[in-house]
Amino acid sequence: MRYGKQDELISEADIEELFADPVTPASFDRLVAPRPLPKRTWNWPIIAVLAAIVVIAVVVVVAVARPFSSVRATHYAQASQQTSAMSESYMETSTAFTDAYSFLYSNEIDPSAVDATELVSTVSTFDEQVDDFSDLRAMNDQEVASSYANFQRQAKQYVKLMNALADSAGTLAQSSAVCVATPSVTEWDSDYYEQYETYIADCRSNVETLTQSEASVLQEYASTTVQTLDQMTEIINQMRTIGDFSTATSAEYQELAELADQLADLDAGYGALNDFQVDLQQAVENANPMEMLQELSTLLGDKYQEQSE
């Protein structure tokens, strides 16, 4: 027996009757089954109008953009004029470099009078002209842009070299003047060792600064010279250990003479400077951008002729 809400007795029969016909739940498959959607009709007149608007917009964009992107004969002529200006600036830079480094070929130039101001000015002008070319309309031509990129890379190397040489011109002039002044002493002079030691110290203090130059050709010259000075110092130390020529025995004298010959063969002066001149000339030639500038100029001339026909 069970009790209801008001403590009324509910019989077992009543309970069985209550659950005899339970509510049948809705089918899940029926609930989630897709329902057909109503067909949507296309409004073809509106679609046609939209398509026409898109086509017109594309035509307008092309018509407006084309005059600004195309390269004409006048644009090639303008670029050609710029190459002529760059060529002229290069020649001025080359002349300024020769003037600034004329001390390498003359003993009459005072190192303190060496001035690379003109070289700095001319190479700056050349560098600006190289950059200005990139803004010209002719650069919209891919062949021109590619040729210019090759020239620009070479031109920037040249500019870097010239700037480094300009910065180091005074230092090189001073160091070369000191280092070529090798001691004019003989083995019998009492200050033989002292003069060499003074020369080595003076040359080293001047040339070591060039090891920090941005120009690799100057770095190599300075490093080679310092190595030579180190070898000279080592020989002088060996000779000092043996003694002086004036008090040496026959065997010691022979040993000192051999070391003196080795010392004489080491050249941190004119020989090293002559080698540097050759290396410097080669470095400048390697950085020369004129061949690529000529190729760019020739291409512009051909393009101008094509557009003019």
pLDDT tens column, 119-145: 999 999 999 999 999 999 999 999 999
Residue ranges for the chain with pLDDT beneath 70: 1-69
pLDDT of residue 302: 95
Contact 232, 263 (CB under 8 A): yes
- Residue 91: its pLDDT value, please? 97
**Helix (DSSP H) and strand (DSSP E) numbers for the chain:** 11, 2
Quote the pLDDT of residue 59.
38
Residue 9's SS3 state is: strand
9 CB-contact burial (10 Å; exposed 0-12 / middle 13-18 / buried 19+): exposed
Distance, in Å, from the CA atom of 283 to the CA atom of 287, rounded to the nearest integer, reads 6
- In whole angstroms, give the CA distance from residue 103 to residue 177: 9
pLDDT for 104 equals 93
Q: What is the 3-state secondary structure (H, E, C) of 117-152?
A: HHHHHHHHHHHHHHHHHCCCHHHHCHHHHHHHHHHH
State how far the Cα of 195 lies from the Cα of 183, in Å rounded to an integer: 6
Q: How far apart are CA 290 and CA 283, in angstroms?
A: 14
pLDDT of residue 69: 52
Q: What pTM does this model have?
A: 0.74
Count other C-beta atoms under 10 Å from residue 31's C-beta. Answer: 7
CA distances in angstroms from 60 to 49, 51, 140, 202, listed in the order given: 17, 14, 21, 76
User: Helices 142-179 and 290-308: crossing angle, nearest 10°?
Assistant: 160
Rg (CA), the chain: 45
Q: Does residue 215 sit in helix, strand or coil?
A: coil
